[in-house]
Amino acid sequence: MPIYAEQFFTDHLALPFNSASVIGDSYYATPSPSSPLRLCVDFAPTIRRGEYDGLRLRLIHPDQGVIDTVVLSFATHGTFTVRDARRQIAPGADGFARIRDWHDNGVPPWTGAGVAGLRRAVQQYAQCWFPDTATPSGSPDSLGTAPPVPDQVLRSTSTSRTR
């Protein structure tokens, strides 16, 4: 089943980068035209095939490969709080804060996702690596009402890699 990645990244998550495209199930962006670094965002897989529990952000250099990787979990960012409460799925239960692309019923598996927290976290991550990138202006409706993500959450999930 398709995960509807292009629809998720361009319409629902609506990341603010001007130079970006979706290839397969990954979103690639050039947040700063003067930098060789690229941002890749895709769904973070669990140990089960076709199940995802967050977004994986990778910073890619054309010659050196992956420079940095961070995973933004759906649970930490409140992405499926409303959906899981409606379905009465508690933390620790099978399917909590996860999406699955096991069935093709024509509905994107991420339907019901509140992406304000994820969007803010992606923007904070991009600002760290691309400080000249302007923070987008958005209406309160487009950004949602989720609380800001504490900086320590972003730092604690990051792993720096050098070659």
Please give the single-letter amino acid code of residue 144: G
Q: How many folded domains does the chain comprise? A: 1
What are the backbone dihedrals phi and psi of residue 22, each rounded to the nearest 5 degrees, phi first?
-105, 125
State whether residue 60 is helix, strand or coil. strand
What pLDDT, in 10s, does the model give residues 70-106?
A: 999 999 999 999 999 999 999 999 999 999 988 778 8
pLDDT the model gives residue 135? 55
pTM of the predicted model as reported, rounded to 2 decimal places: 0.79
Q: What is the CA radius of gyration of the chain?
A: 16
Three-state DSSP at 30 gives: coil
Residue range of the domain that includes 131: 5-160
At residue 59's C-alpha, the angle toward residues 32 and 152, to 5°, is: 100
Residue entry with tokens 């990341």: 15
